[in-house]
């Protein structure tokens, strides 16, 4: 028998029995962005990595407002979520170069929402051939890169793309 080690799953197993708190409300207040895989804070929302991703680079975009559905958001917040989604696509394209994306919102438990009380978007990078037999036959997903490695790469790219224009121009003139 072959053994596939996934020690990061233990944190999930141990916390699965605890009452669920809304990660989109709690994690931004903790101010431990690296530990919480929080990549970017926008005016009305945030971008964070999924702790249990479908693929490397699986991101979550959520408003700060704790609401169940998109139609409950003011237009300004909805527009900011779309801007955060576009920024995330630019970061992912530049840094990990996926061939496509699945972008979606699961509204309600029946649709697959794991956190149904706080609306959020999923951005899942895709590559040709990124599916294999492991999830089908052994209910195991193989991730090609450690979460912290992906986090560091994406964070650097978010910081580069969102740096104030004056800071970016100073960097260009120094070279």
Q: Supply the residues annotated as catalytic.
A: 120
Q: How many CB atoms lie within 10 A of CB 165?
A: 7
Compute how many other C-beta atoms are within 10 angstroms of the C-beta atom of residue 122: 19
d(CA 118, CA 79): 17
Q: What is the DSSP string of 104-157?
A: E---SGGGT-SSTTS--EEEEEE-TT---SHHHHHS----SS-HHHHHHHHHHH
101 within 8 A of 124, measured Cβ to Cβ: yes
- DSSP assignment of 88-101 equals HHHHHHHHT--SEE
């Amino acid at each position: 028998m072959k053994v596939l080690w996934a020690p990061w799953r233990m944190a999930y197993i141990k916390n699965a029995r605890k009452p669920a708190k809304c990660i989109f409300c709690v994690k931004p207040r903790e101010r431990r962005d690296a530990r919480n895989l929080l990549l970017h804070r926008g005016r009305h929302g945030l971008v964070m990595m999924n702790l249990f991703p479908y693929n490397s680079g699986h991101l979550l975009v959520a408003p700060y407002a704790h609401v169940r559905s998109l139609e409950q958001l003011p237009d300004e917040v909805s527009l900011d979520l779309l801007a955060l989604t576009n920024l995330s696509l630019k970061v992912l394209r530049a840094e990990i170069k996926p061939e496509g994306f699945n972008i979606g919102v699961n509204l309600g438990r029946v649709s697959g929402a794991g956190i149904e009380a706080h609306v959020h978007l999923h951005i899942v990078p895709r590559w040709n051939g990124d599916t294999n037999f492991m999830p089908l036959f052994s209910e195991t997903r193989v991730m090609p890169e450690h979460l912290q490695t992906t986090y560091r790469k994406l964070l650097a790219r978010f910081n580069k793309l969102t740096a104030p224009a004056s800071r970016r121009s100073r960097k260009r003139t120094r070279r």
